[in-house]
């Protein structure tokens, strides 16, 4: 039986707060509004299944939980134009576009280019990572209520690099930022650093 559960089922069963409670819609109301005379004759087991199905439907409507989002790393479909879940999930890197060789600078990652993502117990970002090229250079674990979906990191670079950020939402999967290129300026006249790669 357990093996037949989808990832979404597991997620929903793990939620501490139901969407019905969040929206102020009681499950009794949902059942009462949808129960036909036939449904009133259901066995306790079938009523339980119906209740679980209704709760899943309600959760899906409120949070648009989708198995599809968990299959891959999600990217913005049209760069610079954010639609649907992209608005609150695509990480945004904020950093200087040009830095000096090995001079420290701050890169900030915000989750949500249009609006910051929720950080509440049933819907939150749980980690944010930064990549330089293909190398994951850190991974920040964040928890709901106390954290905002924003992290800052101090970096130094030896050469012009492409930064990418990823984050994970407990309901909507992994999302990746658009690539952010940082040009590294090397000291002039120093033969050791003249050649860029
Ligand atoms: Fe989300």
CATH classification of the domain holding 170: 2.60.40.730
Distance 122 CA to ligand 1 centre (A): 10
Which region among 25-34, 67-76, 110-119 has the lowest average model confidence (pLDDT)?
Answer: 25-34
pLDDT over 70 at 61, yes or no: no
Burial class of residue 73, CB neighbours in 10 A (0-12, 13-18, 19+): exposed
Distance 2 CA to ligand 1 centre (A): 25
80 and 61 within one domain: no
Distance 6 CA to ligand 1 centre (A): 18
Distance 93 CA to ligand 1 centre (A): 18
* pLDDT > 90 in the chain, percent: 56
Query: Per-residue confidence at 65, pLDDT binned at 50, 70, 90?
Result: low
105 and 34 within one domain: no
Q: Which of 15, 37, 65 is the last residue of a domain?
A: 65
79 and 58 within one domain: no
The pLDDT, as a whole number, for residue 189 is 61
Residue 99 to residue 34: CA distance in whole angstroms: 61
123 and 57 within one domain: no
pLDDT over 90 at 22, yes or no: no
pLDDT over 80 at 155, yes or no: yes
Query: Per-residue confidence at 51, pLDDT binned at 50, 70, 90?
Result: confident
Full residue range of the structural domain in which residue 44 is found: 2-65
> Are the CB atoms for 157 and 184 separated by under 8 Å?
yes
Distance 62 CA to ligand 1 centre (A): 11
**Per-residue pLDDT reduced to its tens digit, 77-130:** 999 899 999 999 999 999 999 999 999 999 999 999 999 999 999 999 999 999
Residue 47 to residue 155: CA distance in whole angstroms: 57
114 and 57 within one domain: no
Distance 75 CA to ligand 1 centre (A): 14
Q: Which of 10, 43, 65 is the last residue of a domain?
A: 65
| Residue whose token pair is 């990572």 | 129
> Are the CB atoms for 147 and 189 separated by under 8 Å?
no
When the pLDDT of each residue in the chain is averaged and rounded to a whole number, the result is: 80
| Domain count within the chain | 2
Distance 142 CA to ligand 1 centre (A): 14
């Amino acid at each position: 039986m357990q093996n037949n559960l989808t990832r979404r089922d597991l997620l929903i069963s793990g939620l501490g707060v139901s969407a019905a409670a969040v929206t102020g819609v009681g499950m009794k109301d949902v059942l009462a509004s949808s129960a036909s005379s036939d449904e009133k004759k259901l066995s306790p087991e079938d009523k339980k299944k119906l209740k679980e199905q209704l709760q899943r439907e309600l959760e899906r409507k409120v949070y648009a939980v989708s198995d599809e989002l968990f299959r891959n790393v999600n990217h913005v479909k049209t760069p610079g134009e954010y639609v649907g879940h992209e608005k609150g999930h695509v990480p945004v890197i904020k950093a200087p576009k040009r830095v000096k060789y090995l001079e420290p600078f701050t890169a900030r990652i915000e989750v949500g280019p249009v609006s910051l993502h929720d950080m509440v117990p049933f819907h939150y970002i749980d980690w944010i990572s930064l990549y330089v090229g293909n190398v994951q250079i850190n991974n920040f674990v964040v928890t709901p209520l106390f954290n905002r979906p924003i992290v800052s990191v101090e970096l130094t670079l030896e050469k012009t690099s492409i930064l990418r950020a990823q984050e994970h939402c407990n309901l909507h999967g992994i999302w990746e930022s658009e690539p952010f290129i940082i040009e590294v300026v090397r000291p002039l006249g120093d033969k050791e650093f003249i050649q860029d790669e």
